[in-house]
Structures are given as structure tokens and as C-alpha cells.
Amino acid sequence: MRTEADFGQELRSELHNPLRGWVVEKVQDGFKKGQLDYNVCFNGAVAKLELKYVPEWPAMSSTHVGVGRLCSAEQRRHLSEWQQGGGCALVLVGVEDCWFLFQWPNVPLSLPASDMHHPPCVAHGKVNKQLHRVRAHVMAQGMLASVGFQACYDEAMQWGQPTSLI
């Protein structure tokens, strides 16, 4: 049976390729409670990613799959801080052989298993087949963030602010 660690390894092996500008780094900090699982960078677009995994689908389609509930209070705080700072904060939920990518704060606490086949997420697919869609989403969000930063910088320059903003 696949575990969250296995799912993380599959994610990393599918997406990590520094020669192509794709870095997936497991965060290992035993001193800071609730630290998010991965730092990801795809061609300069950076995101924080929390990984959750449920080994099998519930027996009944009306049974809820905990999505946001899988994140601890500290993880939710870190995701919120990252998102409020203008960063890309994501929760990647694996259920059996499927994955669902949610952008914080649009992560439902739970969903009936029947709704997971048409989830309110930004991307979804099969493990080891379509994980590359995660990369595309992070890159798109990174471009939006850099456009926002550039607009902020340009506005500051209009008002004669020092160029040390970069």
C-alpha cells in the first residue's frame, strides 16, 4: 500500500530536474512545528507545497475525504502566511492513485468521495501519469506573482523610491 512518503517520492521523481530549471526540495526541519513539506521552483516560479495522502477511497461515495482537515493548524497558518505574502501556497492531496491540487485558501475542509471526481481544485490527475500538471500550475502562478511584483516596483519608481526594493 502506498504511503504519503511514497507519494512524495513519486512527486519528486516526476518533477525534479535541475538541468531543466525544475527543483523540488523536501523541507526537513524537526524544530519548527507545522513546516510545509516542499519548496518547489519551476523556471523561477516558487511555491510552498503541503502534501497529504489518503491510501484508499472510502467504501461509500457519500463518505467525506478530509482535504483541508488533513492540514494541522500550524500548516494552515504557514499556508496563509505564504499566500498573504503574495506567494503561491498549494496543497496536493493524493487519494489512492489520484491526485488533486488545491490553491490556498481555496481548500475545502472535506468533500464527499463522489465530488472528488469533479473537485473544485486547480488541477487533478493520476499519479505517475499527469503530475506534470503541478509544474504548469506553479509556473503560471509564479508568472502572475512576478507581474504583480513588477507592477509594484514600477509604481514605486514613479514616486521616486530607491531601487533597493529589488
Domains of the chain, earliest start first: 4-165 (3.40.1350.10)
Q: What is the model's pLDDT at position 142?
A: 60
Would you call the peptide bond into 105 cis, given omega within 30 degrees of 0 as the criterion? Answer: yes
Q: Could you tell me the pTM of the whole model?
A: 0.80
Cell digits for 123?
Answer: 488541477
Name the DSSP class of 57. -
- Interatomic CA distance for residues 139 and 146, integer angstroms: 10
Q: What is the model's pLDDT at position 163?
A: 44
Taking the CA atoms of the chain, what radius of gyration do you get in angstroms?
A: 17
Q: pLDDT tens digit string along 72-115?
A: 999 999 999 988 888 889 899 888 888 888 888 888 888 777 77
- Interatomic CA distance for residues 103 and 113, integer angstroms: 19
Q: pLDDT tens digit string along 31-73?
A: 778 899 999 888 777 889 999 998 888 888 888 887 777 899 9
